[in-house]
A and B are shown apart, each in its own frame.
Chain A
Amino acid sequence: MNVAETVFIDNVPTTETDASPPSVTEQKADEADHVLDTMQTQDFPPPSTAKDQFQEELVIKPLHSGDIYASFQFRTQWDTDFLLGSKVSHYRLFPKSLGQVISKFSVRELHISFTQGYWRTMQWGQPFLPSPPGAELWVWFQDTVTDVDLAWKELTNVLSGIFCASLNFIDSTNTVQPSASFKPLGVGNVTDQRFLRYAVLPREIVCTENLTPWKKLLPCGSKAGLAVLMKSEKLFHSSFHSQALHIRPVCKCKSTSWELRQTLNVVFDLHTSGQGKREWSLFKMFSRTLTEACPLASSSKVYVDITDNPQGELFELSPATPLVSQAVVLGDGRTYSVYDLTDHATFGQTHSLNVLLRWRAAESGEMLRPLLHGERYVAGYGLQTGEIHTLVYNNHPYRAFPVLLLDTVPWYLRLYIHTLTVTSKGRDNKPSYIHYQPSKDRLQPHLLEMLIQLPPNSVTEVTVQFERALLKWTEYTPDPNHGFYVGSSVISALVPSVVAMDTNNTQERPLFSSFFPCKEESTYFMRIYTEPLLVNLPTPDFSMPYNVICLTCTVVAVGYGSLYNLLTRTFQVEEPSQGLAKRLANIIRRLRGVPLLT
Chain B
Amino acid sequence: KFSHLKSYFESTDSPEHFLQNTKYNAGDADVFLSTKMAAPLTLLFIVAITIRAVLFRSSLADLITERVEVVSPLNAWKRVVEGLALLDLGVSPYAGDVFHETPLMIYFFHFVIDYAEIVFMVSAVCIVFLLQFRKQKYALEGDRYPLDCLELIRTPREMLYIPLKVAMFYLLNPFTILSCVAKSTCGLNNAVIALFILSTIKGSALMSAIFLALATYQSIYPLTLFAPALLYLLQRLYIPVNWRRPSFWLFTTQYVFMYLGSLAVMVCLSFFLLNSWDFLTSVYGFILSVPDLTPNIGLFWYFFAEMFEHFRLFFICVFQINVFFYTIPLSIKLKEHPVFLIFMQIAIISIFKSYPTVGDIALYMAFLPAWNHLYRFLRNIFLVSVVLLACSALFPVLWHLWIYAGSANSNFYYAITLLFNVAQILLVSDYFYAYLRREHHLTHGLYLKRKDGSEATLVLK
Contacts and interface: CB of A to CB of B under 8 A. Distances in A.
A559 B403 contact: no
Nearest to B413: A538
B80 to A, nearest CB: 10
B95 A437 contact: yes
Contacts of A548: 302-303, 306, 414
A411 interface: yes
Point out which of A548, A558, A569 has the most chain B C-beta atoms below 10 A from its C-beta: A548
Contacts of A570: 440, 460-461
Majority secondary structure of chain B interface residues (helix, strand, loop or mixed): helix
A544 B411 contact: yes
Contacts of A471: 293, 305
Given A382-B404, A469-B293, A545 B307 contact: yes
Contact of A473 (B305, B333, B458): B305
Nearest to B415: A551
B302 A416 contact: no
Nearest to A385: B66
Contacts of B82: 416-418
B418 interface: yes
Contacts of A591: none
A558 B303 contact: no
B91 interface: yes
Nearest to B402: A538
A438 B96 CA distance: 5
Interface string A561-577: 01111110111111100
Contacts of A414: 97-98
Interface in A161-206: none
A574 B460 CA distance: 9
B394 interface: no
Given A416-B78, A541-B409, A570-B460, A562 B429 contact: yes
A398 interface: no
Interface string B444-456: 0000101100001
Contact of B292 (A381, A441, A571): A441
Nearest to B83: A418
A380 to B, nearest CB: 11
A208 B437 CA distance: 78
Interface string A107-137: 0000000000000000000000000000000
B138 interface: no
A121 to B, nearest CB: 31
A84 interface: no
Nearest to A542: B306
A440 interface: yes
Given A416-B82, A469-B293, A574 B457 contact: yes
Contacts of B319: 556
B460 A383 contact: no
A19 interface: no
Contacts of A569: 460-461
Nearest to B95: A438
Contact of B85 (A417, A541, A555, A562): A417
Interface in B300-325: 301-309, 319, 322
Contact of B421 (A411, A418, A555, A562): A555
B24 interface: no
Contacts of B433: 566
B338 interface: no
A417 B329 CA distance: 46
Point out which of B302, B348, B458 has the most chain A C-beta atoms below 10 A from its C-beta: B302
B84 interface: yes
Contacts, number: 165
A474 B330 contact: no
Contact of B305 (A440, A540, A559, A571): A540
A442 interface: yes
A572 B458 contact: yes
B422 interface: yes
Point out which of B402, B425, B436 has the most chain A C-beta atoms below 10 A from its C-beta: B425
B330 to A, nearest CB: 7
Interface string B411-446: 100100010011001100100110011001000000
A34 interface: no
B84 A381 contact: no
Point out which of A416, A559, A570 has the most chain B C-beta atoms below 10 A from its C-beta: A559
Contacts of A383: 402-404
B294 interface: yes
Contacts of B432: 563, 566
Contacts of A559: 348, 351-352, 421, 425, 429
A438 B293 contact: no
A156 to B, nearest CB: 24
Interface in B121-167: none
A502 to B, nearest CB: 40
Interface in B17-51: none
A472 B96 contact: no
Nearest to B80: A418
A552 B419 CA distance: 10
B294 A469 contact: yes
Given A418-B82, A559-B351, A567-B330, A472 B460 contact: no
A118 to B, nearest CB: 27
A470 B322 contact: no
Contact of A572 (B333, B429, B459): B459
Contact of B436 (A437, A467, A545, A566): A566
Contacts of B456: 573-574
Contact of A566 (B299, B457, B460): B460
A494 B443 CA distance: 88
A412 to B, nearest CB: 10
A293 to B, nearest CB: 55
Contacts of A562: 425-426, 429
Interface of B: 66, 68, 78, 81-82, 84-86, 89, 91, 95-98, 291-295, 299, 301-309, 319, 322, 326, 329-330, 333, 348, 351-352, 402-404, 409-411, 414, 418, 421-422, 425-426, 429, 432-433, 436-437, 440, 448, 450-451, 456-461
Given A384-B66, A467-B294, A559-B348, 7 more contacts: A382-B404, A418-B82, A418-B84, A473-B305, A541-B306, A545-B307, A573-B450
14 contacts: A418-B81, A470-B294, A470-B305, A471-B293, A541-B409, A544-B306, A548-B303, A556-B322, A559-B425, A563-B329, A566-B460, A572-B460, A573-B459, A574-B458
